[in-house]
Amino acid sequence: RKEVEQDPGPFNVPEGATVAFNCTYSNSASQSFFWYRQDCRKEPKLLMSVYSSGNEDGRFTAQLNRASQYISLLIRDSKLSDSATYLCVVITGTASKLTFGTGTRLQVTL
Amino acid sequence: DAEITQSPRHKITETGRQVTLACHQTWNHNNMFWYRQDLGHGLRLIHYSYGVQDTNKGEVSDGYSVSRSNTEDLPLTLESAASSQTSVYFCASSDGDSLNAEAFFGQGTRLTVV
């Protein structure tokens, strides 16, 4: 079983739609969680950290469910510019190395 | 502004040759990482370092080596390039003092082994 799993998509949604991605992780000792965004052929960039109580940044909301070992990302009012691959990232233990999911591709259309 | 740079951006090499990919960061970060990204696999960790003279193997380290002689640089060496090592390579760095620290990535090196 992969340490971090994501539905690869693609998710094709119209502009203005709400879309949600889930990501599951296998190690219950995982302690830090993030969503990164990667545009085609570019480097990944941090979108947002995921906190236990859930957190929001504008149109983006991240949630953590430790009992079920998954994190989620909700995007409201999708924009064309949201089209990208969204990477779920987990840090486990005292090491700082990031473990990535394979990413979920989002395509927002007119 | 602080940054992390990789060179070269593109490289074509022949099977069996030794290749070194450079990674240089000016964030003064202790942590540095090398990943490869392939379709269907996402980013997989090759090697990482938590500071000068420290190196550790990641999940796909066979055929690769790194050295950390200073804080700024973590070069990745392919000892004898193989076609299976054709990939996009990303270097990253992060602040070692916090598990919630953001990781910053270089722009990537596209390596083709022919």
Q: Where in A9-92 does DSSP place strands (E)?
A: 11-14, 19-25, 30-38, 45-50, 55-57, 60-65, 70-75, 84-92
Half-sphere exposure of A8 (CA within 13 A, CB side): 5
**Residue A109: its H or E element:** strand A104-109
Residue with tokens 């949201």: A82
Q: Are B43 and B36 in contact (CB under 8 A)?
A: yes
DSSP state at residue A46? E
Q: pLDDT confidence of A70, banded at 50, 70, 90?
A: very high
User: At residue A84, does pLDDT exceed 70?
Assistant: yes
Q: How confident is the model at residue A94 (pLDDT cuts 50, 70, 90)?
A: low
For residue B81 the two structure tokens come to 């390039």
Q: Is B85 helix (H, G, I), strand (E, B) or coil?
A: helix
Strands (E), chain B: 4-7, 10-13, 19-25, 31-38, 42-51, 54-57, 64-66, 76-78, 87-94, 103-105, 109-113
The full length of chain A comes to 110
**Closest-CA residue of chain A to B88:** A41
Residues of chain B with pLDDT under 50: none
Question: Residue A97: what pLDDT?
Answer: 77
Interface test with A, best of B30, B49, B105 (most A CBs within 10 A): B105
Chain A nearest-CA distance from B8, in A, is: 15
Asked if A103 and A87 count as a contact pair (C-beta separation under 8 A), the reply is yes
Is A110 in contact with A80 (CB distance < 8 Å)? Answer: yes
Q: Smallest Cβ distance to A96: which of B41, B90, B94? A: B94
Residues in A touching B57 (Cβ below 8 Å) = none
- Please tell me the distance in Å from A44's CA to the nearest CA on chain B: 7
Residue A26 has pLDDT above 70, yes or no: yes
Contacts of A23 in chain B (CB under 8 A): none
Q: At residue A22, does pLDDT exceed 80?
A: yes
Position A95 scores a pLDDT of: 64
Q: Who wins on pLDDT, A100 or A2?
A: A100
Question: Residues A87-93: what's their mean pLDDT?
Answer: 88
CA distance B72 to chain A (A): 18
> Band of the pLDDT at A20, cuts 50, 70, 90?
very high
**pLDDT score of B41:** 82
pLDDT, position A78: 98
CB contact under 8 A, B103 and A98: yes
Q: What is the pLDDT of residue B96?
A: 74
Lowest-pLDDT choice from A14-18, A42-46, A94-98, B64-68: A94-98
If one counts every other C-beta atom within 10 angstroms of the C-beta of residue B18, the result is 10
**Residue A23: what pLDDT?**
95
* Chain-centroid distance, C-alpha A52: 15
C-alpha–C-alpha distance, residues A50 and A90, integer Å: 10
